[in-house]
Amino acid sequence: MASFRSTVENMSKLMDEMGITELDLERQLLLGLYRKHIHLSKQQTVAAPVAGFVQQAKTNTNDKISGHVLKSPMVGVLYLAPEPGAKPFVKVGSTVKVGDTLALVEAMKTFNPIKADIDGVVKEVLVADGTAVEFDTPIVVLEQVSNGQD
């Protein structure tokens, strides 16, 4: 399975390099007794962040991210607000509680909430609104706050 995952990851990189937005992969084993079909689809990001969204992004990939990092659980398009022109779910400095929605990832026409899994303060927003994200793309960094202490 790891080799198939690496094949999909490599194909995803090739798609980026070649500007391909859709690709179908099919794997057949044991004379057709097992078949696995995967459709990869990527949206090209051409728009700049929407005005009013204050983003902090790492410009140097060698920078270490410190804090609790929430990552995308899937491939899709990330949205920082519930709809275009609306107030963002969070911004740097926002206090969040476990279960608060921080962003949405749209995948296959379904909006999937990215929820805080700790109580904390938003330290950084790493991805701009409307950006295509991959599985495990860091999205938000939280600084954990202790419960019961002021």
CA distance 88 to 96: 13
Express each pLDDT in 21-67 by its tens digit: 666 666 666 665 555 555 566 554 433 333 333 333 343 444 566 78
68-144 is classed in which CATH architecture? Beta Barrel (2.40)
The residue length of the chain stands at: 150
Domain with CATH 2.40.50.100 in the chain: 68-144
Model confidence at 125: pLDDT above 50: yes
What are 78's two structure tokens?
A: 């990330």
- Kindly report the average pLDDT of the chain as a whole number: 75
Q: What separation in angstroms does the CA of 64 have from each of 60, 67, 88? A: 9, 10, 26
